[in-house]
Amino acid sequence: MIAISVVLGVVLVALGMLTPPSVAAQGASTFAIEGEVSNGTRDAPAPRSATIQLVAFTDSSIEGTWDSTVDESSRYRFDSVPLIQGVSYVVGVDYSGATYAESLAAVPEGGIAVRDLKVYESVQVDPGVLFEQSAIVVSGVDPANRAVTMLEIHSVVNPTDRTFIPSAAGPGGPAGLLVFGLPANAFALTPELGLDVSRMVQIDRGFASLGPVVPGRNEIAFYYQFPYSSAEFLFQRTIRYPVESFRVLAPVPGPSLASGELSSVSSADIAGRQYQTLTGGPYPAGTVVNVMLRDLPATGATADAAPWWSIAGAGVAVGVALALIAWGGRRARPAAPALPEISGAAVERIVALDLKWASGAIEEAAYHTEREELLDAAVREAVPASEPAPRE
């Protein structure tokens, strides 16, 4: 099951506003899609008569939409779907306040693609959300405007078999929100993964996401900026949910990091880039972590052709942080599994591919295909967390 991205969310919302397409000429190649719809919540019945939605889309347009219905045996089928070159296909269903969707990795010409869907019952009170891993990366510094850009990536785990539907007006009150803190005077908040800007609300010293949190692991990532006025800045974070592993990273050369709560580890060489890393955890909710950023560049600072604050581009930072935090693709994991630890070699292969894509050396379709293959291979080779692996 994949967490709905911002783009995919827009595609699925648009389904109700579009009519069936006339995108294929008579005699054009077609294929069929079928699958089973199950309920992952214990003892809950499988959905019946639910509407299944199929979307064909590109980065810039929706090329087609189709509807089907779940039958009495909890199955669905689409026949004679036009095979449109250069598009992606996604099949999804709305259930109990959340959207569940799966992409089609391969579309067989004239054949049948099989894609099962799993839905869950929902709750509006925090079911015990925890953060398996959190990574905060210094992504860049603008010395002219004295602003630091930070990237945060969190592996948010819903350990139950019910989807958490945050709601500001729900019965959970404050416990009905998924909350993220930000530094004072933070600005330019930008969702990157797992967040829908239409479901984000501002709160005191941060923001809350009202997007569904499905059972298992969910990836959430976002950028923001904050101002600094001297060569040092105290970054303070109050842990709002239990977190197993907490990391702060900065490129080398770059601002130095120091913390009384986190331990410093040797700089990691990832795809030819050095990163200073502070790490700690597990931490209970309410823990305060302080990190001092030092050696921030002054206004008008000059350096060689490639100063460190111009190197850590957004695409590179995303790739590095995703790999370091051992992301398992864009799919939510089953509830309460033994989560794998990705090997260093697998991390470097993923990051190298991300850097290749960020530089424009690989087409987007080929990039996504190859990255999914690398991630799947990394997970297959990984050592489950229940089996301790040697640490460097």
Spatial separation of the C-alpha atoms in residues 373 and 381, rounded to whole Å: 12
Residues 342 and 374 both lie in one domain: yes
Residues 231 and 308 both lie in one domain: yes
Spatial separation of the C-alpha atoms in residues 71 and 77, rounded to whole Å: 9
CATH code assigned at 167: 2.60.40
Residues 115 and 198 both lie in one domain: no
| 158 confidence band (pLDDT: 50, 70, 90) | very high
Whether 392 maps to a domain, the answer reads: no
Q: Can you give the residue range of the structural domain that contains 56?
A: 6-120
Q: Looking at residue 61, what is its pLDDT?
A: 83
Q: Looking at residue 356, what is its pLDDT?
A: 58
Top-confidence residue, 360 or 92: 92
Residues 254 and 152 both lie in one domain: yes
Q: Looking at residue 346, what is its pLDDT?
A: 60
Q: What is the pLDDT of residues 186-217, one digit of tens each?
A: 999 998 888 888 889 888 789 999 999 999 99
Residues 79 and 152 both lie in one domain: no
Q: Looking at residue 72, what is its pLDDT?
A: 92
Q: Is 184 helix (H, G, I), strand (E, B) or coil?
A: coil
Q: Residue 181: which of 257, 249, 243, 256 has the closest Cα?
A: 243
| 373 confidence band (pLDDT: 50, 70, 90) | confident
Q: Pairing mode, if any, of strands 75-82 and 62-69?
A: unpaired
Residues 142 and 282 both lie in one domain: yes
Q: Enumerate the β-bridge partners of residue 191.
A: 222
Q: Looking at residue 380, what is its pLDDT?
A: 58
Q: Name the least confident of 119-128, 201-210, 255-264, 340-349.
A: 340-349
For 332-338, what is the mean pLDDT?
36
For 302-330, what is the mean pLDDT?
40
Task: Judge whether residue 65 has pLDDT over 60.
Answer: yes
Q: What is the pLDDT of residues 8-48, one digit of tens each?
A: 443 443 333 333 333 333 346 889 999 999 999 999 998 88
Q: What is the pLDDT of residues 92-127, one digit of tens each?
A: 999 999 999 988 877 777 789 899 999 999 999 899
| 253 confidence band (pLDDT: 50, 70, 90) | confident
Compute CA distances 72 → 49, 94, 169, whole Å: 7, 18, 35
| 379 confidence band (pLDDT: 50, 70, 90) | low
Please report, as a single letter, which amino acid is at residue 91.
V
- Looking at the 3D structure of the chain, how many domains does it have? 2
Domain boundary among 73, 91, 120: 120
Residues 262 and 362 both lie in one domain: yes
Whether 314 maps to a domain, the answer reads: yes
Q: Looking at residue 95, what is its pLDDT?
A: 93
Residues 93 and 143 both lie in one domain: no
| 49 confidence band (pLDDT: 50, 70, 90) | confident
Whether 28 maps to a domain, the answer reads: yes
111: Cβ contacts below 8 Å, ≥ 6 apart? 31, 32
Residues 63 and 191 both lie in one domain: no
Residue 359 CA neighbour count, 13 Å, CB half? 8
Residues 114 and 160 both lie in one domain: no
Whether 298 maps to a domain, the answer reads: yes
CA dihedral defined by 77, 94, 133, 296, rounded to 10 degrees?
110
Domain boundary among 102, 120, 138: 120
Domain boundary among 120, 143, 164: 120
CATH code assigned at 33: 2.60.40.10
Q: Is 189 helix (H, G, I), strand (E, B) or coil?
A: strand
Q: Average per-residue pLDDT in the chain?
A: 76
337: Cβ contacts below 8 Å, ≥ 6 apart? 216
For 268-297, what is the mean pLDDT?
86
Length of the chain equals 392
